[in-house]
Structure 1
Amino acid sequence: MERTEEPGRMPLNAEVTGYGSVAGPGLSVSVGGSESAPLLIPEPEAQPYRQWQPLTKEELEVAAGGPRWRKARCYLVLLFWLTWLAMLAIAIAIIVMSPRPVETPLKWWQKSLFYQLQPDLLTEERADGSGGINALCEQLPYLRSVGIGALILEGLFDKKASPLNRNATGERFGTLPQIQHLLAESHKADLKVVLDVCELDLLGPQDVAGKADKTSNLSATHALRFWLEQGAAGFAICDTDAAYSEMTLLEWKGVLKEFSSEEKERIVVVKQTKDVLPPLKSFSQGNVTLVDVVMRSILPSSQHLLSAKEVAVSIETHLQTREEDVWPSWTVGGKASLHLKKLLLVLVMTLPGTPVLRYDEDIDQAQNMSLEVGLSHGDAKKSSDTHTDKEKRHLASALFSTLSHSRAREEALLFGSFTFLPFNSSTDDSSSSLNSTIPSRPSPPILAFLRSWGCVHFLILLNVGPEPHALDPAWAPSLPKAGVFVANTGTVRLGSTTLDKLELRPHEAVVIKLFEAGSYS
């Protein structure tokens, strides 16, 4: 019986082609080889481990390009160091050969700040007699701490007797031992003392020709030797005294030279009372300097307080006409209002030369101590007034100390060059130039000058008038526009500023250290 195959069924003896022959990646399918095809791909056999070893010399030379490349590297390193040394040598040569300001060797009296006073002004006479010279001895360390280097003592000698006589000291100042004690204490405090004998009859009676008796000259010479032996640093006379003559000063200079050394040079100070200093013949010779310091007053002598315009004219005159024959010394001299007191202090301390300041109770330590006592024992109203006075004196003392120490450490303020700077003010009512004289101008213009040393510049601005002033933006285009406040007489100014935004308050003086934008010198 023949078997009939049903549709859809596969015969049992049918050959299966392609079963298990699905080709995978990397596999080839062949007929009859489906059963022998591996189901998993075997992993490659691990290569044998090879230990790291550094390259040999030969391998390094091959990798580096050979011995020629090694020589080239040596030459490049040598060239680098030679170039660096050459640049260093050129930089040193530029610094050495570049022009620099020559520092002027100054004497002690050219660097010091002088303080002129009478011992009885320091404090009132006390019941125990501790006023006068004794009070001055107590304040010597304090005066030295605020920057004072020398004292000019007035009124130590009695005008009725021979002024340089060792026994003819002023009755109100005590006896000779007290003055000797003062000189000894001044030496301990590192303060020089100059004895003021101005307007005193030093040479005694004179003949018709104006020449003093030889006996009087000899007596004065012996007196000079006595006070120099006690430690006096010099003597101050007036240009109207009989001692202000070539013959007398030559004798005095001979005596001073015997007691002088490089560090302790003895000096002669002449107070100029006239508009023009009477000339001496030795000034024109140039080989002998009979006068070391000429003390000039910025303000003219007057019985009344000078107006702001008179003060401005006097200051401008001295700024424009400065004599170079002898070393100058500046003092206020005349009378000015309290508003201009601090302004004149800034002017004296920043002008070239030796500043000489008169006694000021604002920087008196004894006066400040008495204010503190009044503040602690006064009633409410008096305590408020005393507190205000104490604050004002504290600001005045701080200004004095700042100016004195700035002048001592800044070469530009000590012996730098001086440049007067006339300029216009930006306000409408004072737009005229400083050199022009317009009677209708209601307020004096700003006065300005520059003290320079190398690349360091100090700008001093003085607003003498009672109105605020701003600087003209076009003024002094060659000056640096930025600066930092060093000192000022008004409200305390701190930090940096720019000249185009600076406005001076009434009766204000400002000291600014200028520097280029983005730098500070």
Structure 2
Amino acid sequence: MEHSDREETGSAPGRMPLNAGDTGYGSVPGPGLSGGEVASESAPLLIPVPEPEPVQQWQPMSKQQLEVAAGGAGWRKVRCYLVLLFWLAWVAMLATSIAIVVMSPRPVATPLRWWQKSLFYQLQPDLFTEGQAEESGGVNALCEQLPYLRSLGIGALILEGLFDKGVSPFNVTATGERSSTLAQIQHLLAESNKAGLKVVLDFCQLDLLGPQDVAGNADEPSNTVLHALRFWLEQGVDGFAICDTDAAYSEKTLLEWRGVFKEFSNKEEEERIVVVKQTQDILSPLNNITLVDVVMKSILPSSPHLLSAKEVAVAIETSLQTREEDIWPSWTIGGKASHDLKKLLLVLMMTLPGSPAVQYDEDIDQTQNVSLKAGSSHGEMNEPSDTHTDKKKAKHLAVALFTSLSRSRAREEALLYGSFTFLPFNSSTDSSSNSTLPSPPSLAVLAYLRSWGCVHFLILLNVGPEVHALDPAWAPSIPKAGVFVSSTGMDRLGAMTLDTLELQPHEAIVIKLFEAGSYS
């Protein structure tokens, strides 16, 4: 019995139990096992890794799901309100912008008459004398130039000296030699109208009141004069020029002339004008200033000698500061200046308010250019070829400058009817010195501004023989950047800044200014 008990318990001394491998040395029960025999036999050799859960694929949301996610039907109302608010704000900004544009001050362009837009060209055609006719071809040569003059931008001709050779403008029934001269004038008028050029006859310093009796009373002069006016108007004349010292410069005479003009002024472009040449320092006033359309003024005073640079500068400044606003001016040179200032004075006339009246210039005369080309092609022995080349180049530059100024004036509103501002000028002379201090104001340098809205044209004139640089503190209110429009040397192109600009001797420059970052 005892033996059987020991076998059952397996604890007899000196003997190793059968399951010693499961609980003895080096035995480590597996996880989750009790170390028994059943557990030892059923334990896996490798512990399996749990598989990842399957990823749910993306699927678009249904309408019901979107409504739930967006907050339901209330979210639709919010979006409608936001869209309505956006459009209301947009309409409000548009209305505000329109109101600002409408209410903001802006320049109003006054319609200009044909003489206010035209460039006048003064001719003294001695072509009607026999000697001059043989050299230049007479009136036929002038008629051939008319399309060329029109291409330069000239809009009207002022024919001077036609009636100081014994030919009266009122003797319209002349015979013999006078009849031939009258026929030439009529031919010139007809060809001018074909070329699109207006014509103004110069009656300055002519006896327009006719013969007078012993008592000094005119013998019905108005009938003869008015008959002659009708005759010339029928021939295509667009106006008449008189002097302020003529007897015809009176309200009575001009009222009679206006009555005749109305008969031929059916359209605005056909309107006839009266031009008064101002020969005195002060123009005699008329109670009715509308009787005169244009007052022609001289920039330089008459002088038997050439004016110095300082005298020219003083005359220009005086003309710029004594302008009258109630009459339409037409500027001409008048006095004598050196050849170096010829181009500068042309730039001045073409950029001043009013209608420029340019005197005959052989540099832009087509017949002169043709004769120059013919002479150079034949190789004249009297002058070297370099002289011909220089003359040809000078004439080419003169035509280029004239064309540039006339076209700029025709297309730029600021140069046509823009405001005028005379600018005080301080300059510093560039004499290869290191001094940066500005010198006292110099009358040799003048400047003015032509403005229309936000567009500004700056005209700089260096009348003196020295190089001048602009003072950086000069005219701080105007823009500093701009582009060159034209210059007397026709050698300035592209963008520029006033801080680095230097004026060459006897140079005039036209600059179109613009604000920083603007290219209007």
**Shorter-chain TM-score above 0.5:** yes
CA distance in 1, matches of 2:284, 2:70: 90
Distance 1:28 1:398, change over 3 A: farther
Output aligned runs, 1:279-290, within 5 Å: 279-283=285-289, 289-290=290-291
CA distance in 2, matches of 1:151, 1:161: 20
- State the one-letter code of the partner of 1:372: K
Report whether the alignment pairs 1:422 with 2:430.
no
Output aligned runs, 1:433-444, within 5 Å: 433=441, 444=443
Match of 1:316 in 2: 317
Task: Write out per-residue CA displacement over residues 220-246 of structure 1, whole angstroms, 9 at most, x where no aligned residue.
Answer: 111110111111101111222222222
Match of 2:244 in 1: 239
Report whether the alignment pairs 1:255 with 2:260.
yes
Match of 1:348 in 2: 349
Preserved contact between residue 457 and residue 510 of structure 2 (Cα < 8 Å):
yes
> In the TM superposition, what is the alpha-carbon distance from 1:272 to its structure 2 partner?
1.3
More divergent stretch after superposition (141-150 vs 181-190): 181-190
Preserved contact between residue 305 and residue 336 of structure 2 (Cα < 8 Å):
yes
Output aligned runs, 1:371-450, within 5 Å: 371-378=372-379, 382-427=384-429, 431-433=439-441, 444-450=443-449
Report whether the alignment pairs 1:292 with 2:300.
no
CA distance in 1, matches of 2:122, 2:506: 25
Name the SS for the 1:426 alignment partner.
strand
Match of 1:455 in 2: 454
Match of 1:144 in 2: 150
Preserved contact between residue 173 and residue 179 of structure 2 (Cα < 8 Å):
no
CA distance in 2, matches of 1:246, 1:321: 25
Match of 2:487 in 1: 488
Preserved contact between residue 156 and residue 170 of structure 1 (Cα < 8 Å):
no
Preserved contact between residue 328 and residue 353 of structure 1 (Cα < 8 Å):
yes
Report whether the alignment pairs 1:500 with 2:499.
yes
Distance 1:122 1:501, change over 3 A: farther
- State the one-letter code of the partner of 1:354: S
- State the one-letter code of the partner of 1:163: P
Distance 1:45 1:395, change over 3 A: closer
Preserved contact between residue 401 and residue 490 of structure 2 (Cα < 8 Å):
no
Name the SS for the 2:518 alignment partner.
coil
More divergent stretch after superposition (306-315 vs 89-98): 306-315
Match of 1:440 in 2: none
Task: Write out per-residue CA displacement over residues 198-223 of structure 1, whole angstroms, 9 at most, x where no aligned residue.
Answer: 22223322346754221x32111111
Task: Write out per-residue CA displacement over residues 71-112 of structure 1, whole angstroms, 9 at most, x where no aligned residue.
Answer: 111111111111111111101110110011121221110111
Distance 1:28 1:81, change over 3 A: farther
- State the one-letter code of the partner of 1:345: L
Query: How many residues are paired up?
Result: 492
Output aligned runs, 1:13-32, within 5 Å: none
Name the SS for the 1:518 alignment partner.
coil
CA distance in 2, matches of 1:342, 1:170: 43
> In the TM superposition, what is the alpha-carbon distance from 1:56 to its structure 2 partner?
2.6
Task: Write out per-residue CA displacement over residues 285-313 of structure 1, whole angstroms, 9 at most, x where no aligned residue.
Answer: xxxx2211111111111221111111111
> In the TM superposition, what is the alpha-carbon distance from 1:57 to its structure 2 partner?
2.1
CA distance in 1, matches of 2:216, 2:51: 131
Report whether the alignment pairs 1:306 with 2:307.
yes
Distance 1:483 1:211, change over 3 A: farther
Preserved contact between residue 457 and residue 512 of structure 2 (Cα < 8 Å):
yes
Structure number with bigger Rg: 2
Identity, % of aligned pairs?
Answer: 71
CA distance in 2, matches of 1:69, 1:203: 95
Distance 1:116 1:491, change over 3 A: closer
Distance 1:340 1:158, change over 3 A: closer
CA distance in 1, matches of 2:242, 2:476: 45
Match of 1:361 in 2: 362
Structure 1 length-normalised TM: 0.85
CA distance in 2, matches of 1:14, 1:174: 159
- State the one-letter code of the partner of 1:416: G
Distance 1:125 1:161, change over 3 A: closer
CA distance in 2, matches of 1:155, 1:44: 118
Distance 1:416 1:190, change over 3 A: same
Name the SS for the 2:269 alignment partner.
coil
Match of 2:432 in 1: none
- State the one-letter code of the partner of 1:219: T
Distance 1:169 1:141, change over 3 A: farther
CA distance in 1, matches of 2:392, 2:35: 118
Match of 2:112 in 1: 106
> In the TM superposition, what is the alpha-carbon distance from 1:30 to its structure 2 partner?
7.7
- State the one-letter code of the partner of 1:432: P
More divergent stretch after superposition (157-166 vs 79-88): 157-166
Distance 1:282 1:242, change over 3 A: same
Name the SS for the 1:294 alignment partner.
strand
More divergent stretch after superposition (107-116 vs 244-253): 244-253
> In the TM superposition, what is the alpha-carbon distance from 1:384 to its structure 2 partner?
2.0
Report whether the alignment pairs 1:337 with 2:338.
yes
Distance 1:101 1:423, change over 3 A: same
More divergent stretch after superposition (295-304 vs 444-453): 444-453
Report whether the alignment pairs 1:85 with 2:91.
yes
CA distance in 1, matches of 2:458, 2:175: 45
Distance 1:158 1:331, change over 3 A: closer
Which of 217, 221, 228 is the equivalent residue of 2:222? 217
CA distance in 2, matches of 1:155, 1:171: 17
Preserved contact between residue 159 and residue 201 of structure 2 (Cα < 8 Å):
yes
Structure 2 length-normalised TM: 0.85
Name the SS for the 1:263 alignment partner.
helix
Match of 1:7 in 2: none
Task: Write out per-residue CA displacement over residues 235-279 of structure 1, whole angstroms, 9 at most, x where no aligned residue.
Answer: 111222222222221111111121113221100111112222223
Could you tell me which runs of 5 or more consecutive residues in structure 2 were left unpaired when the two chains were aligned: 1-17, 430-434
Preserved contact between residue 272 and residue 294 of structure 1 (Cα < 8 Å):
yes
CA distance in 1, matches of 2:268, 2:512: 33
> In the TM superposition, what is the alpha-carbon distance from 1:162 to its structure 2 partner?
2.7
Distance 1:296 1:201, change over 3 A: same
Could you tell me which runs of 5 or more consecutive residues in structure 1 were left unpaired when the two chains were aligned: 1-12, 284-288, 435-443
Match of 2:518 in 1: 519
